[in-house]
Chain A
Amino acid sequence: MTLFGWGVLKGMGVTLKNFLTSYFRKPDEGGIFTVQYPEEREKPVENYRNFPFLVYDGTPEKIRCVACGICERECPPKCIHIEMELDAAGKPARKPAVFDIDHGLCMNCGMCEEVCPFDSIFMDHAFEVTAPERQKNLVRHKKELSKSNEYFKKIRPALASAVDQKRKAAEEKKKAAVPPPPPQSAGGQAQTTAQGPQ
């Protein structure tokens, strides 16, 4: 007949074993696996999605976004607000003048990344967002959202290189589709300049 309380004692044996081995084992095998944040940080995985950001190629003026408003329409909690920039003549220049995303509404679903036809909005990894007051920093404007293509390559290398390849292939196809200029009869100089971009 087993002793009454044997189950409890066996359980205590398990906890004792766990306690003692936690000093010797590696974190993956039963040791202490706490990451002492913020002194140590884990490297985020590539696919981790947190909050959107806008990509620019080179300088912030060359932002890829054309303010089409598709992400604004498809966003489920409607947290994006876009206003198109108007150029000197009052016609829409294909760039956003205002691009606001509300941190309080965004639910990090990634739909804006999925629907963008211009490869301009992707999900970022930055989660250390704090502000001294409740009203500051909750709405992110275009300046804070624009990040360079190099940053994009650093945080999401596989996706960034795939997007770059796709854009390069599309650009080359566009250039190949432009018919070559007709040959100039007067002077070799005009001919060279005409053939420049090829």
Chain B
Amino acid sequence: MKILVEEVKKELETRMPDVKLRLIRDSLLIEDPQDLPQVVLFLKENPKFLLDHLSSVIGADYLDYLESIYHLYSMAKKQGPVVLRVRVTKSSATVPAPINGHKAEPGTAQNVFDERKVKAGKIPSLASIYRSAELQEREAFDTLGILYKGHPDLRRLFMWEEFQGHPLRKDYEQEDTEVLETADIAWLEARGVKVPEAMKEKAKALHAAGQRAVAQKPEKPRAG
């Protein structure tokens, strides 16, 4: 059974007048991300909606801002989706360690960072209200760099711990896997691997210029 989004908006506006909402097609945009937990808690416990199933948490990149989209369903009352959106501005401050500068000691996890120390717009995590958000928020962080405040274990899901960058962002430049950077060379040498001198020189040059080893894109796309 479908839930009309206008009904949800009206109900929320009467109960929580200071939460600003906007209707975008069939979904509700919550203007201030910090209001998200109270809206969601209300929708979960109100007997009219009883939305107890968080079906998915999806991140998306819209060039100026990052968006986090939630689809809520009700298992108890078998009701249709309520789609909520939250936006946060993009910030490159989600990369925890500076480029070309992290220490490489074997045995330590280098990129387990404390998100409280990172200055960037954060979305409150829903992991304490719905457990299904745990892994999905980790995936949104890994692929898009959306930070969730209050998540019990915010670390990368698919990529390995030392990976830098967020692949699904539209401005992500792919690394050139043939060229090493100083951080990679330090990691390898700490484990006793011999690196040829030519690669070391190239890495030093890149480090001095403050650049990353990015793959060269072909000049024109392949045959349209």
* A positions within 8 Å CB-CB of B: 69, 72-73, 78
Size of chain B's interface in residues, with CB distance under 8 A? 3
A73 to B221, CA, bound (A): 11
Chain B neighbourhood of A72, CB < 8 A: 223
Query: How does the 8 Å CB contact mask read for B207-224 relative to A, with 1 for contact and 0 for none?
Result: 000000000000000111
The minimal Cβ–Cβ distance linking A86 to chain B, given in whole angstroms, is: 17
A69 to B222, CA, bound (A): 11
A60 to B39, CA, bound (A): 70
Main secondary structure of the interface of B (DSSP, over half): loop
Chain B neighbourhood of A69, CB < 8 A: 223
Chain A neighbourhood of B224, CB < 8 A: 73
A184 to B37, CA, bound (A): 91
Q: List 5 A-B contacts (CB under 8 A).
A: A69-B223, A72-B223, A73-B222, A73-B224, A78-B222
The minimal Cβ–Cβ distance linking B149 to chain A, given in whole angstroms, is: 39
The minimal Cβ–Cβ distance linking B221 to chain A, given in whole angstroms, is: 10
Which chain A residue lies CB-closest to B222? A78
A73 to B224, CA, bound (A): 7
Which chain B residue lies CB-closest to A72? B223
| Chain B, range 184-224, C-beta contacts under 8 Å to A | 222-224
Chain B neighbourhood of A73, CB < 8 A: 222-224
Chain B neighbourhood of A78, CB < 8 A: 222
Which chain B residue lies CB-closest to A73? B223
A69 to B224, CA, bound (A): 10
A11 to B114, CA, bound (A): 56
A41 to B24, CA, bound (A): 60
Chain A neighbourhood of B222, CB < 8 A: 73, 78
The minimal Cβ–Cβ distance linking B114 to chain A, given in whole angstroms, is: 41
The minimal Cβ–Cβ distance linking A92 to chain B, given in whole angstroms, is: 14
The minimal Cβ–Cβ distance linking B41 to chain A, given in whole angstroms, is: 44
The minimal Cβ–Cβ distance linking A78 to chain B, given in whole angstroms, is: 7
A73 to B223, CA, bound (A): 7
Chain A neighbourhood of B223, CB < 8 A: 69, 72-73
The minimal Cβ–Cβ distance linking B218 to chain A, given in whole angstroms, is: 12
Which chain B residue lies CB-closest to A69? B223
A72 to B223, CA, bound (A): 8
A45 to B36, CA, bound (A): 56
A78 to B223, CA, bound (A): 11
Closest 6 interchain pairs by CB?
A: A73-B223, A69-B223, A72-B223, A73-B224, A78-B222, A73-B222
Which chain B residue lies CB-closest to A82? B223
A30 to B83, CA, bound (A): 52
A72 to B224, CA, bound (A): 10
The minimal Cβ–Cβ distance linking B189 to chain A, given in whole angstroms, is: 32
Which chain B residue lies CB-closest to A70? B223
The minimal Cβ–Cβ distance linking B141 to chain A, given in whole angstroms, is: 29
